[in-house]
A and B are shown apart, each in its own frame.
Chain A
Amino acid sequence: MSEIKKTACHFCHMNCGMLATVENGVVTKVAGDPEHPFNAGAQCPRGASALDHLTHPNRINYPLKRVGERGSGQFKRVAWGEALDDIAARLAALKAEYGAETIATTGGTNRTDDFARRRFFNLLGSPNVVHTAPVCWIPNFLTEAASYGWAAFDPEIMGAKCVVVWGHNPGASYLPEMRGLLQAKANGTKIIVIDPVYSETAAKADLWLPIRPGSDNALALAWLHVIINEGLCDYQFIDDWTVGFEELSDRVEEYTPDWAAEKTGISPELIMESARIYALSKPACIQWGVATDQLGRGSSASAQARVALRIICGNLDVPGGDVMPGPHPTFITDWELELNDMLPAEQRAKQLGSDRFKLNSWPGYQLLTDNMLRVWGKSIPAEWFCEANPSTVFRAMATGDPYPVKACIVLANNPLVSYANSKLVYKALKNLELLVAMEYWMTPSAMLADYVLPAASWLERPVMTTTYGVSDWLIASEKAIEPMFERRTDTEFWRELGLRLGQAEYWPWETDEEVFKYRLDPLGLELESYEEFVQCYRMHFAEREYQKYQTKGVATPSGKIELKISIFEQLGYDPLPHYVEPPFSHEARPELAAQYPLSLVAGGGFMPFFHSEHREMTRIRLLRPYPRVAINPALAQQLAIKEGDWLWIETPTGKVKQTAFITAAVAPDVVQAERGWWFPEKEVKDPELMGVFESNINVCVDDDPDTCDELCGSFCSRGIMCRISKVEGND
């Protein structure tokens, strides 16, 4: 018997629709779903590798329990029940001894049903949930939310006259998005790309601004200066809907194009020209890009300046501009499933890092939520937007300060590779009393675990896409087959653990499909089952409404769009856009300039990989067997480096090696290293741990809280002082 199942790819958060052909319980073919709005029947190389991933011989298929020393690689197969019983018992004992906050969890990027993680932790009583959120989207989203009550993350590229792609390379990350850009360009939309690297996307742009790594904040401020001084603003909109324009104008007076040229390496003329193109093209949109969340100190300030740009140019929530979706009015959002009210105030106060990085933890989240409830009736989820600070949590694990963190559940994450200061993360994980990892593969981090549990991949689980719970639409997808072997979904895992810890009354649904159907019920479609929704409807988009500030109001304390952000002021931060020196630049550390003459971008991706994923997949790995660091031909010549030579990349914090990729795509004083590297084929045991410290650029990235973003705790991976040298002999 052959059936077609409407599944969704989970290898990145585009969640492209896929049609899986299932014959007698076996997936025989996976193709793009032509009816899906994102991929329109296509696949990227990750999506096209779905079957390799499903049936890969190295997948974790059964729960494993550590039997030897931690990291010795000795595990034995145990039953799920036995594993969960033991984990639950040990969590309960640790909670009794140290308090619930001693239990933490880390997650990667949204390919999980994170409401379940948060629900479990809220019921458990621990606020120490950590993702890679501070370096991905959250500083931007929350700055926008503080300024106008939600994020305008839905750029309507198709109706825009100009699109600014800032610190983002969809040409090597999100291909459906890139298709949109190319289509818009074909229709005459101007594409401006801001990137130190001549990326796949920059190569297709109308205008490329080759910015010095880490100086985005200065460029945004100079754009504000130009647009305000040249009177290119939308004054009607500013008068009617905003507060703080006078103060903003005064503030940006000092940020002249000449001032910014020196910092950004972009000529004053080009700064002025690009600012004018953006301001005079109406409507225009600014796409979110990850790079500016990774500036460390100054990430939020940079977001703040860009937020002001779209406001004063009148591009907020207009057709072809930056559309602010708001929550879906009826279906049950992630926020509604999280049970944040169950987390007592005294536990909220213990959230690690929340005394310092207040915007993305309980203090800021509470203020934002109060305002959002007034206007939208719902808030953004705590998951991603209200978290403990990773640097602080790893320090607490390693040192017991300010209190002991003794257990960690790692799900959809490989912390040794995905957080800065990998060697500290190593100390932290080694010091734990209980480490549990749910995984597809044995990763370096999982190798240190007490339990490694088998995770179901996307053909084996239903997927409901709601953009982290903050968009006003959803797309539902079913599983193609029952999970193979003993793989399970994360919701099943959290629920089973919850049941063992006295949370039974809060986990009434036995399957993922039951939870998802519950989420859909308010739509009033009288569904028999979740699958029926997938087959008959698949998606639900709220009717698009523009300029919602006119009808709904603005979810800020003033009820206006705030150029001077009062929530920042309440939290003790500068309410106006301002310049923050990048933490590891020559400007900030002149004493180190001679020793570390280059500027490192520690975050290049290579298309088929996604973060630290897919290194095991031979077909993909053969496209990029080794990590590459991009260097300019002039620098290569100066250091007598040949293509493919192994090079040391060294910062004041650490050194790793990658192979030389000589390219004019970077400036002579800039190098771009690839992220996410480890080698599943190498010695798996501690201390080698699949070569996790050899080429993993996060070894060279510092996470000292003093250098992190003051509002969100983001560590800095852009524009770090570094030097390179040839690896000699058998180094």
Chain B
Amino acid sequence: MPDFESGGERLMHWGMLIDLKKCVGCHACTIACQNEHNLPFAMKYCKVAKVGPVGEYPNITAYNITTGCMHCADAPCVDGCPTGASRHRADGIVTVDPDKCVGCLFCMVVCPYGVRQLNEENGIVEKCTMCFNRLDEGLVTRCVETCQLQARSVGDLDDPDSELVKQIRKHNAQPLYSYLGTKPSIYYIMP
């Protein structure tokens, strides 16, 4: 977990919580995100994977998992980017500066979550931006806004009293594959 326990130096740290107990895998986040960022049809910042059903009929379970960039606090993509295009904002969001990105694809190799993609139309590597432009305007991210199941939320990981942190604690939410050691800012309530 980013060090919100200690209060940290940052003013805030944007994070997201995704409740897999609620997600039904409808793809609304995928499509709304595509619209928000004017993405080519085949490009997705936000993906939905269906897991299962596992087991033998009728003793089975299934869930869905949606993934974008994990906005890692120790981000290999930021460390590895030769031009400095990939970097952290002060609020923890990992961004790609399109003017600096030369499309070398190194970040795609080092990102352990495989969430970066080359936009064939402009030659730049892109990924979920955590909708920082919306957050800066005081709006929630587009995927949070669109989710009919209210399975997603954003908030400040550095504020121990934020709704986000309370929910993370209450449900013991965890980042995906935390053993990778990149300190993601995206937490999941497991099904």
Contacts and interface: CB of A to CB of B under 8 A. Distances in A.
Interface of A: 31-32, 39-45, 47-49, 51-52, 171-172, 175-176, 178-179, 182, 198, 200-201, 203-204, 208, 210, 607-608, 618-620, 622-623, 632, 663-668
A667 B57 CA distance: 6
B147 A200 contact: no
B41 A622 contact: yes
Contacts of B60: 198, 664-665
Contacts of B146: 32, 42-43, 48
B91 to A, nearest CB: 23
Contacts of B53: 198, 203, 663-665
A48 B28 CA distance: 7
B148 A178 contact: yes
B145 A182 contact: no
Contacts, number: 103
Contacts of A620: 31
Contacts of A663: 53
A198 B62 contact: yes
A608 B31 contact: yes
B153 interface: no
A623 B35 contact: no
B141 interface: no
A658 B98 CA distance: 42
By CB atoms of chain B within 10 A, which of A31, A45, A48, A665 has the most? A48
B83 interface: no
Contact of A179 (B21, B25, B42, B150): B150
Given A32-B146, A664-B57, A178 B24 contact: yes
A632 B57 contact: yes
Instruction: Determine which residue in B26, B42, B53 has the highest number of CB atoms from chain A within 10 A of its CB, and name it.
Output: B26
Given A198-B62, A664-B56, A607 B145 contact: no
A623 B60 CA distance: 25
A32 B145 contact: yes
Contacts of B88: none
Contacts of B55: 664
Contact of A31 (B34, B41, B42, B145): B145
Interface string B142-177: 000111111000000000000000000000000000
A220 to B, nearest CB: 19
B22 interface: yes
A49 to B, nearest CB: 6
A47 B146 CA distance: 9
Residue among B27, B60, B63 with the most chain A CB within 10 A?
A: B27
Nearest to B48: A623
> Which 9 A-B residue pairings sit nearest by Cβ, starting from the closest?
A175-B148, A210-B58, A171-B24, A42-B148, A48-B32, A200-B24, A45-B28, A45-B31, A664-B53
A474 B27 CA distance: 29
Interface residues of B, number: 31
Given A40-B150, A44-B28, A45-B28, 5 more contacts: A48-B32, A175-B28, A179-B149, A608-B26, A608-B31
Interface string B9-44: 000000000000110111110111011000001100
Contacts of B28: 42-45, 47-48, 175
Contacts of A172: 24, 26
Interface of B: 21-22, 24-28, 30-32, 34-35, 41-42, 52-58, 60-63, 145-150
B163 to A, nearest CB: 16
A462 B34 CA distance: 27
11 contacts: A32-B146, A42-B28, A44-B28, A45-B28, A45-B32, A172-B26, A182-B149, A198-B60, A204-B21, A622-B41, A665-B62
B41 A619 contact: yes
A445 B22 CA distance: 39
B31 A48 contact: yes
B57 A666 contact: yes
A203 B62 CA distance: 6
A179 B28 CA distance: 14
A632 B58 CA distance: 11
A198 B32 contact: no
Nearest to B56: A664
B34 A619 contact: yes
A43 B25 contact: no
B24 A668 contact: no
A39 B32 CA distance: 15
Contacts of B25: 200, 607
B63 A39 contact: no
Nearest to A14: B148
Given A198-B58, A607-B26, A663-B53, A203 B63 contact: yes
Contacts of B148: 39, 42-44, 175-176, 178-179
Given A42-B145, A210-B57, A175 B31 contact: no
A203 B64 CA distance: 10
Contact of B41 (A42, A618, A632, A664): A618
A43 B41 CA distance: 19
A663 B56 CA distance: 10
A618 B31 CA distance: 11
B54 A664 contact: yes
Contacts of B52: 664
A39 B150 CA distance: 10
B120 to A, nearest CB: 14
Contacts of A182: 21-22, 149
Contacts of B32: 43, 45, 48
A204 B24 contact: yes
A29 to B, nearest CB: 9
Given A208-B58, A667-B58, A607 B27 contact: yes
Contact of B35 (A39, A48, A204, A665): A48
